[in-house]
């Protein structure tokens, strides 16, 4: 479904991603792991045409995405849940969920609300509350619920567990696992071993802008082994 | 007592028109983060549209419609085309660009129409008694029209698809784009609506002020005051403060000198600015 071939990404003169090639199919859960600053987020943003200048090929559902703007990529079935500033703070929880769903009509917007509230019932309780007044964990849930409620064919999720309490990591992991089970491709950047184990079949390790290996998630006995892998100690 | 009622109503008329101009200004600030110095000139162009159409022997309301469409669509989109390439540059550059557009429009209006003041006849000439004073019906019509337009704008921002998207783009245009919101179309809507609101106000107020090239200068200054006091980007705040400003200035002028009232108003704005400086800027709110 998604294929990156020799992807390079640049911010100004900085060459962040230096030749990444990978595939994510429908129903795949793939983790992208590595140190801070190795280019994981830039890879996701490149796939969405969200900022960096890119070279190389990004193919989605058989079509080359070169020159295709962000909005058109979304309409083709790609979605992204960014790490920071992912909610509209002065809009209600309900409005936050409806924003993207409105593209596909009022009926889809209602369905998106139902699905989002089913994934995270706490959002239903706070539907009229401005998103900016939610806790950090609830804001992460809102962003993820909205991303999944749009029913993308493939969703890119950046650091969903960062700064969350273990109970919230469990909830978010479960929501992503359900999406994978339902046939959505998930490419997630995260460092939580529990989340990666719940969501992903395999992880791709990134170092200094390059993919240095791809491993089945079942092959890692624990978080230390995973960390050792992306530190290059294994 | 009659004088007070009449002053209050006059204030409401000025405040209602000011609310339209300021709401457009707030809308544009909300999405693009800039104050548009040319907003008053769109007000002026709206007034000229009515004068021109009346000169052709056509109806006032046709003039208003032509003014809104021409200034809103053509003016708004031209403004967008000029500012779009500058959107990633410093705000000062965009401000200067809008100032340049304002100066060009004023000079063009002077060259084409002359510097003299052109009278515009009100489309409704009746009067209704308020105490012992016969008050022009048209003035009340201006207030009613502004109220309907502002209420429509509020409901649009609150419930309509593009209204929701407009607020979303104003708060976080990157995230809105990642959700598939057509961000460029939303920006265009803000430019068209912002300019169109000024043109409506200019058309409606033309019979009260007559029409001349620098007509927009005073209302622009007042609109800036209103938008700053109402909270930058705050559509409803701008409307409420505009009405309040119109009434306070008009009522205040019955007791103390008009200039002294303005000094007091500006003093209040400085206090508000200091308070708001501690709260940060706002995006489009309803």
Query: What is the predicted pLDDT for the residue at A84?
Result: 86
Over residues A136-161, the pLDDT tens digits come to: 889 999 999 999 988 899 999 999 99
Query: What is the predicted pLDDT for the residue at B26?
Result: 84
Whether B267 is in a domain gets the answer no
Contact A74/B168, CB-based, under 8 Å?
no
The complex scores an ipTM of 0.89
Contact A150/B183, CB-based, under 8 Å?
no
Half-sphere exposure (Cβ direction) of A142: Cα atoms closer than 13 Å:
33
Q: Which of B171, B180, B181 sits opposite A90 (nearest CB)?
A: B171
Whether B139 is in a domain gets the answer yes
Q: What is the chain A residue with the closest CA to B182?
A: A71
Query: What is the predicted pLDDT for the residue at B141?
Result: 92
**Substitution target from B169, B178, B233, B234 for chain A, most A beta carbons within 10 A:** B178
Q: How many CB atoms lie within 10 A of CB A230?
A: 21
Q: What is the chain A residue with the closest CA to B283?
A: A90
Whether B3 is in a domain gets the answer no
Q: Which of A70, A90, A146 sits opposite B283 (nearest CB)?
A: A90
Nearest residue to B108 via CA among B219, B214, B223:
B214
How much is the average pLDDT of A3-28?
92
Residues of chain B with pLDDT under 50: none
Query: What is the predicted pLDDT for the residue at A101?
Result: 86
Q: How confident is the model at residue A184 (pLDDT cuts 50, 70, 90)?
A: very high
- Provide the β-strand partners of residue A155: A79, A186
Q: What is the chain B residue with the closest CA to A144?
A: B179
How much is the average pLDDT of A167-184?
92
Owning domain of residue B82:
19-218
Length of chain A: 234
Contact A99/B172, CB-based, under 8 Å?
no
Whether B225 is in a domain gets the answer no
Question: For chain B, what is the domain count?
Answer: 1
Query: What is the predicted pLDDT for the residue at B236?
Result: 79
Q: Is the pLDDT of residue A91 over 90?
A: yes
Q: Is the pLDDT of residue A233 over 70?
A: no
Q: How confident is the model at residue A8 (pLDDT cuts 50, 70, 90)?
A: very high
How far is Cα B185 from Cα B214, in angstroms, rounded to an integer?
31
Nearest residue to B34 via CA among B85, B101, B97, B105:
B97
- Look at strands A210-216 and A202-207 and give their pairing: antiparallel
Query: What is the predicted pLDDT for the residue at B223?
Result: 85
Q: Is the pLDDT of residue A165 over 80?
A: yes
How far is Cα B42 from Cα B27, in angstroms, rounded to an integer?
15
Query: What is the predicted pLDDT for the residue at B275?
Result: 76
Å between A75 CA and nearest CA of chain B: 7
How much is the average pLDDT of A47-65?
92
- CB proximity B79 to A under 8 Å: no
Q: What is the chain A residue with the closest CA to B179?
A: A100
Whether B192 is in a domain gets the answer yes
Whether B70 is in a domain gets the answer yes
Q: How confident is the model at residue A131 (pLDDT cuts 50, 70, 90)?
A: very high
Long-range residue pairs from B133-137, CB within 8 A, at least 24 positions apart, any chain: B133/B2, B133/B5, B133/B6, B135/B6, B135/B9
User: Is the CB of residue A29 less than 8 Å from the CB of residue A219?
Assistant: no
Q: Is A3 helix (H, G, I), strand (E, B) or coil?
A: strand
Identify all chain B residues contacting A77, using CB atoms and an 8 Å cutoff.
Answer: none
Over residues A214-231, the pLDDT tens digits come to: 999 888 888 888 787 877
Is pTM, for the whole model, over 0.80? yes
Whether B112 is in a domain gets the answer yes
DSSP code for B71: I
How much is the average pLDDT of A75-92?
92
Over residues A187-215, the pLDDT tens digits come to: 999 989 999 999 999 999 999 899 998 99
Whether B197 is in a domain gets the answer yes
């Amino acid at each position: 479904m998604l294929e990156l071939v020799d992807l390079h990404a640049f911010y100004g003169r900085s060459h962040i991603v230096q030749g990444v090639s990978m595939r994510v199919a429908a129903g795949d859960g793939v983790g992208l792991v590595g140190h801070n600053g190795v280019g994981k987020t830039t890879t996701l943003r490149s796939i969405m045409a969200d900022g960096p200048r890119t070279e190389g090929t990004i193919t989605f559902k058989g079509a080359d995405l070169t020159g295709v703007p962000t909005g058109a990529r979304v309409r083709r079935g790609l979605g992204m849940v960014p790490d920071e500033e992912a909610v509209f703070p002065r809009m209600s929880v309900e409005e936050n969920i409806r924003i993207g769903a409105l593209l596909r009509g009022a009926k889809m917007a209602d369905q998106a609300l139902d699905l989002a509230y089913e994934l995270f019932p706490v959002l239903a309780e706070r539907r009229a509350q401005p998103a900016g007044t939610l806790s950090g964990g609830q804001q992460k849930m809102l962003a993820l619920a909205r991303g999944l409620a749009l029913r993308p064919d493939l969703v890119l999720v950046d650091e969903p567990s960062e700064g969350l309490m273990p109970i919230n990591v469990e909830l978010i992991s479960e929501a992503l696992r359900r999406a994978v089970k339902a046939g959505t491709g998930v490419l997630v950047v995260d460092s939580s071993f529990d989340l990666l184990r719940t969501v992903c079949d395999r992880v791709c390790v990134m170092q200094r802008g390059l993919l240095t290996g791809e491993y089945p998630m079942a092959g890692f006995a624990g978080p230390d082994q995973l960390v050792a892998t992306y530190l290059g100690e294994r | 007592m009659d004088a007070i009622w009449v002053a209050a109503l006059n204030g409401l008329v000025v405040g209602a028109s000011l609310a339209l101009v300021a709401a457009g200004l707030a809308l544009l600030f909300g999405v693009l983060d800039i104050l548009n110095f040319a907003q008053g000139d769109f007000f002026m162009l709206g007034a000229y549209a009515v004068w021109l159409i009346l000169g052709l022997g056509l109806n006032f309301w046709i003039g208003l419609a032509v003014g809104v469409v021409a200034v809103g669509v053509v003016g708004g989109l031209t403004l967008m085309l000029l500012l779009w390439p500058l959107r990633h540059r410093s705000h000062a550059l965009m401000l200067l660009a809008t100032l340049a557009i304002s100066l060009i429009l004023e000079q063009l209006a002077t060259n084409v129409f002359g510097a003299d003041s052109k009278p515009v006849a009100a489309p409704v000439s009746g009067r209704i008694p308020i105490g012992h004073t016969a008050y022009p019906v048209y003035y009340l019509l201006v207030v009613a029209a502004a109220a309907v337009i502002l209420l429509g704008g509020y409901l649009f921002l609150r419930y309509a698809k593009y209204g929701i998207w407009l607020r979303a783009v104003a708060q976080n245009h990157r995230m809105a784009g990642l959700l598939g919101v057509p961000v460029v179309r939303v920006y265009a809507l803000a430019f068209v609506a912002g300019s169109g609101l000024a043109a409506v106000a200019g058309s409606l107020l033309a019979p009260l002020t007559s029409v001349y090239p620098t007509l927009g200068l005073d209302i622009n200054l007042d609109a800036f005051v209103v938008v700053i006091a109402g909270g930058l980007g705050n559509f409803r705040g701008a409307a409420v403060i505009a009405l309040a400003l119109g009434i306070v200035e008009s009522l205040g002028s019955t007791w103390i000198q008009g200039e002294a009232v303005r000094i007091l108003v500006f003093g209040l704005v400085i206090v508000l600015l200091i308070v708001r400086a501690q709260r940060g800027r706002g995006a489009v709110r309803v």
